[in-house]
Structure 1
Amino acid sequence: MEQHIDGHDEQHDEQGPGRRTVVITGASDGIGAAAARELSARGHEVVVVGRSAGKTEAVAGPLGARHFTADFARLDDVRRLAADLRGAVPRIDVLVNNAGGIFDRREVTTDGHEQTWQVNHLAPFLLTHLLLEGPLAGGSAVLNTSSVAARIGRLSQQRLVDDRRWSPQRAYGDTKLANILFTRGLARRYGEDGLAAAAFHPGGVATNFASGTSTPLRFLYDTRLGRRIMRTPEQGAETLVWLADGTAGRDWRSGGYYEKQKPARTNPRADDDALADALWERSAELVGLGPAAAR
């Protein structure tokens, strides 16, 4: 599943890690906010993206960071965000697709997609593509927040979007598997251009992620005992920070999936190149990208 990207490693060996521009979505709370603070403390320029204007500004303000808002349940918001980033950030060294969630009820967005599928997969897929020909030039990296829940994903070439027997857990697991397949696709398609990609599992983190849902996760997120056995947002952000601060080809390999700063096992379907290709093509169609996205 992992690939070594020739050229990308050499470029960063010459330049060194240095100061990087890191765009983090879902950074108004949880591990995104924790990662923004830590990466800023390490000297990187952080761009904070969140859904809530107030919460996003509250994270960005103390860091002196630029910030943008977007609701990933609206693809027009994603397109606007991409345009804003292209205009304001000439180069993005690291794009962190961290925004996401698990939802209690099956709802369809104004774009006509099941909400979990759009917020967790289609929106970051679209955002990444809209930045590929601009700020995400050779030598950049895309990091996708996945989950151990990818192991229960049941995506197949025949059923890439499966609303039968819908449940919050099934929908979430499918999208987290999609995150890893998207990572694999990025590494295979754009590796020769110097773009690297990785997916990671942050662990069970004491945030508001599943608070208020009726899923079994509610015990962990809504109870004092559950939160005591979970990781802090700072601990959950450690692998994200390690990937963003590191160098592909030296510290980690492009196309890989990581947990606790080490390669990790996940769903065997994540190794299926034909499934990754089918997902890529179907996703490009669903978000209205042209033939060039089928690269």
Structure 2
Amino acid sequence: MNILLTGATSGIGWETFKSLWKDGHQMILPVRNMKKAIDLLEGFGANERVYLVQMDLADLKSVNEATKDISSKYQSIDIIINNAGGMFPPKKKTVEGLDESFVVNHLGHFLLTKHLIHLLPKDLGKVISVSSKVHQIGKANPSDLGLNKSTSSFASYASVKLYNILFTKLLRKKYSEQNLQAYALHPGAVNTSFGNSSGSIEKAIIGFSKLFFISPKKGAETTLYLANTPSSKLTNGGYYQRKKFASVSSKANDLELAEKLWQFSETEVKRILD
């Protein structure tokens, strides 16, 4: 299969890549740091079945160019895994003036997926988005979906993890004729570089909490489960935890809210790219 994976050069993404590559899949890796990716792959011995493309999720124009590159090279993609993400200081802006947490965790993947979704095969294509259990306390304020007024790294992160599930729910609805399979997941509390770019208070809390976190290899298990399990054995639009279907917050089931987020995302993408 042809599998696209973001955030493949560290943490859960690296463990996900290693497992899928060993299984013989062709891996498409959009990466921000090309040298780091090349060095990692050489060290691992992955000299074939990997296509690297330059992409910075925090830069929508970069994402747009990456999708053009990928579309010119591949006629089909079987699975898109939206794995990359992070917690960033509040008010930190991207080069295009958008909230960084909003763009890296949601809008960049929204654009990437929308521009490549035509390459997914009917009835078999999957979009897998790494969300989090903290979505349960996330908020989606219709007047500030872009998180420009947020004053907390953690609050912003909880919101964008809610967005990941809302995006998943609406992918299922909007592409029902294609029978697109869309899933979101909680990987667990994983000991990675997550939180290194957050505010000082959040960074200190996360640093202490990591003493109790699971390994990246363990954290990749649910992503790999969703990628490898036949769609007939999964719930389309579902949210998974520990390789099992799990419940979500009432907000994460709000399709009206999901539609507002979708429309806002389309407007922001159009404003930046036009």
User: Which TM-score applies when normalising by structure 2?
Assistant: 0.90
Structure 1 residue 105: deviation in Å?
Answer: 3.9
Q: 1:270 aligns with which of 243, 252, 259?
A: 252
1:75 pairs with 2:56 = no
User: What corresponds to 2:36 in structure 1?
Assistant: 55
Amino acid at match of 2:6: T
Task: Describe the SS at the equivalent of 1:200.
Answer: strand
User: What corresponds to 1:127 in structure 2?
Assistant: 112
Q: Mean Cα displacement is larger for which, 209-218 or 181-190?
A: 209-218
Structure 1 residue 49: deviation in Å?
Answer: 2.4
CA contact (8 A) 2:186 2:240 kept: yes
User: What corresponds to 2:51 in structure 1?
Assistant: 66
Task: Describe the SS at the equivalent of 1:49.
Answer: strand
1:102 pairs with 2:87 = yes
What runs of 5+ residues in structure 2 fail to find an aligned partner?
none
Structure 1 residue 187: deviation in Å?
Answer: 0.5
Rounded to whole Å, the distance in 2 between the matches of 1:238 and 1:124 is: 21
1:187 pairs with 2:172 = yes
CA contact (8 A) 1:94 1:142 kept: yes
1:229 pairs with 2:212 = yes
- The aligned runs of 1:207-226 (5 Å cut-off) are 207-211=192-196, 213-214=198-199, 217-219=202-204, 221-222=206-207, 226=209
CA contact (8 A) 2:2 2:77 kept: yes
User: What corresponds to 2:221 in structure 1?
Assistant: 238
User: What corresponds to 1:247 in structure 2?
Assistant: 230
Task: Describe the SS at the equivalent of 1:143.
Answer: strand
CA contact (8 A) 1:156 1:275 kept: no
Rounded to whole Å, the distance in 1 between the matches of 2:248 and 2:103 is: 22
Structure 1 residue 136: deviation in Å?
Answer: 2.1
Task: Describe the SS at the equivalent of 1:288.
Answer: helix
Q: 1:31 aligns with which of 12, 19, 23?
A: 12
CA contact (8 A) 1:22 1:47 kept: yes
**What is the aligned length?**
266
After superposition, what is the alpha-carbon deviation per residue over 1:202-228, rounded to whole angstroms, capped at 9, x for unaligned? Answer: 1111111112533555346545xx444
Rounded to whole Å, the distance in 1 between the matches of 2:22 and 2:113 is: 26
Rounded to whole Å, the distance in 1 between the matches of 2:206 and 2:109 is: 25
Structure 1 residue 162: deviation in Å?
Answer: 4.1
- The aligned runs of 1:278-293 (5 Å cut-off) are 278-288=260-270
CA contact (8 A) 2:135 2:161 kept: yes
User: What corresponds to 1:260 in structure 2?
Assistant: 242
Amino acid at match of 1:33: W
CA contact (8 A) 1:56 1:69 kept: no
Structure 1 residue 288: deviation in Å?
Answer: 0.9
- The aligned runs of 1:131-150 (5 Å cut-off) are 131-133=116-118, 135-138=119-122, 139-150=124-135
Distance 1:228 1:166, change over 3 A: closer
Amino acid at match of 1:281: Q
Amino acid at match of 1:22: I
What runs of 5+ residues in structure 1 fail to find an aligned partner?
1-19, 290-295
